[in-house]
Amino acid sequence: MGEHGQHDGSKQPDTPPQQEDWGDSPGAKEPEQRSAYHNDIWFWRITVVALAAIVLIALVGDLWLASLGKEIPQAVLALGATAVGALGGVVAGQR
């Protein structure tokens, strides 16, 4: 009587049923999620050109307003700075 029987009187050992976890198998990999425009070269060209245009318009507008002796709105400065950051992220973030 070395085996412990289950409560129903059978002589099977009291071990829980093993569940298979298919996600942990060494060969199983989830497919890489990429956006639809990831390999679209025209999307990235248009994005870079649009951000560069925003930066240039903000810069020229700032210089023009400064040359007239007028105060530069904070929104124009924020828009230009944000476009510079976004342009840097788009150009450097492509891996």
pTM above 0.75, yes or no: no
Dist. CA 39–CA 23, nearest whole Å: 28
What average pLDDT does the structure give for the chain?
Answer: 80
Question: What is the tens place of the pLDDT at every residue in 3-46?
Answer: 555 555 666 666 666 665 555 556 666 777 777 777 888 998 99
DSSP 8-state symbol, 95: -
Amino acid in the structure at residue 35: S
Dist. CA 67–CA 61, nearest whole Å: 10
